[in-house]
Amino acid sequence: MAKNINGRKRQEHKQIALERIELLFSEARDMFGKNKALAKRYVALARELSMKYKVPIPSNLKRQFCKHCGNYLMPSVNVRVRTRNGKIVYYCLDCKHFTRFPYLREQKAKRKMKIKVKISK
């Protein structure tokens, strides 16, 4: 891959890769009800693009696939979603593994309350 002045060409490739990743996830969502294997393939292609061009998968899309088995996750179909100890727990019903994500909104509210209490004292 040739590099143009200021890495412009490389930046264009990253932008195209990010658009394709988003497109592949939307296709996976549409295809999930019809063909789960094809939805899994779309997720795999999106992850390969992300690694090849060193583009992070957007945070809203990271929660839509299992990090262990690579399946596209649809709540109440093949994933159980729970909150526990300030975290959201995604339990994949296909591979029986779980992923935890911090529940940031609640944590930020708690921090603000602690800061207000310290200031008022």
CATH code, domain carrying 76: 1.20.5.420
Q: pLDDT for 51-70, tens place per residue?
A: 999 999 998 899 899 999 99
50 CB-contact burial (10 Å; exposed 0-12 / middle 13-18 / buried 19+): buried
Q: Note the pLDDT of residue 59.
A: 87
Q: What is the extent of the structural domain holding 58?
A: 5-120
pLDDT by residue, tens only, the chain of 121 residues: 455 656 667 889 999 999 999 999 999 999 999 999 999 999 999 999 999 999 999 988 998 999 999 999 999 999 999 998 888 899 999 999 999 988 877 677 777 777 766 666 6
Q: Are 71 and 32 in contact (CB under 8 A)?
A: no
Give the total number of structural domains in the chain. Answer: 1
Q: Note the pLDDT of residue 66.
A: 94
Q: pLDDT for 69-83, tens place per residue?
A: 999 999 999 999 999
Q: Note the pLDDT of residue 19.
A: 96
State the Cα–Cα distance between residues 86 and 102, nearest whole angstrom.
6
3-state SS of the chain?
Answer: CCCCHHHHHHHHHHHHHHHHHHHHHHHHHHHCCCCHHHHHHHHHHHHHHHHHCCCCCCHHHHCCECCCCCCECCECCCEEEEEECCEEEEEECCCCCEEEEECHHHHHHHHHHHHHHHHHC
pTM of the entire structure?
0.77
